[in-house]
Chain A
Amino acid sequence: GAGVSQTPSNKVTEKGKYVELRCDPISGHTALYWYRQSLGQGPEFLIYFQGTGAADDSGLPNDRFFAVRPEGSVSTLKIQRTERGDSAVYLCASSLNVGRGSGNNEQFFGPGTRLTVL
């Protein structure tokens, strides 16, 4: 497909387990973003990648959260020792470019992965 895809669409896990969430951005998009949307709230920024590198990870809540993008395309968000408070919809977005004044920095969002920690 032409849009951002995320897998799985739903993930149920137990407290203390490890999970990986995958994001496939739009082909050719150099910038990739992760957001977290808790119930009844707007999405909150977690991390953004420019190419393979994490240019800003200031939104990651703690060191249990980590994300990679080894080849500059697909990204994986990894959560260790999950807690019930991690339950949320995790959204991925991509853009052609990034940067102030760029005309190609519109972020296109995927449908999200709903994570439930029991």
Chain B
Amino acid sequence: AQSVTQLDSHVSVSEGTPVLLRCNYSSSYSPSLFWYVQHPNKGLQLLLKYTSAATLVKGINGFEAEFKKSETSFHLTKPSAHMSDAAEYFCVVSYGDSSYKLIFGSGTRLLVRP
């Protein structure tokens, strides 16, 4: 089965330091890859998506992710964390003819310390 693995359930950083949230996907087909963010009591929001164009994808709020086919990875980064970045982040994949079916990782909770 197609899947996506988020390697860390929790990541804690200090405000102003870099953020790295790790994601690996299974590689049977050429994937579309996404990162979504979920703030408490709010709907999931799309941060960025990769759909076979540029391998370095820039998203909202200063986040970016790099598609590395050789490593089957799509890690999310941000140079400098803000307190408002504290939330749950989901790496998501979809494939081919079932591209409407989003397959979510288990999520990484980002904590930002003052």
Which residues from chain A sit less than 8 Å from chain B, CB to CB? 3-4, 31, 33, 35, 40-45, 48, 55-56, 59, 91, 93, 95, 98-100, 105-112
Is the beta-carbon distance between A109 and B99 smaller than 8 angstroms? no
What would 10 A/B residue contacts be, using CB atoms closer than 8 Å?
A: A33-B100, A35-B102, A42-B107, A44-B104, A56-B98, A56-B101, A100-B96, A107-B46, A110-B43, A111-B43
Is the beta-carbon distance between B96 and A42 smaller than 8 angstroms? no
B contact residues, total (Cβ < 8 Å): 22
The listed residue (A35, A42, A108) touching B105 by CB distance below 8 A is A42
Which residues from chain B sit less than 8 Å from chain A, CB to CB? 36, 41-46, 49, 90, 92, 96-107
Inter-chain contacts of B45 with A (CB < 8 A): 109
Is the beta-carbon distance between A56 and B43 smaller than 8 angstroms? no
Most chain B CB within a 10 A radius of its CB, from A31, A43, A55, A98: A43
CB of A114, distance to nearest CB on chain B (Å)? 10
Top 9 nearest A-B pairs by Cβ distance? A42-B104, A109-B44, A109-B43, A98-B100, A111-B43, A100-B99, A45-B101, A43-B104, A42-B106
Complex CA–CA separation, A110 to B44 (angstroms): 7
Is the beta-carbon distance between A48 and B101 smaller than 8 angstroms? yes
B99's nearest neighbour on chain A, judged by CB, is A100
Inter-chain contacts of A33 with B (CB < 8 A): 100, 102
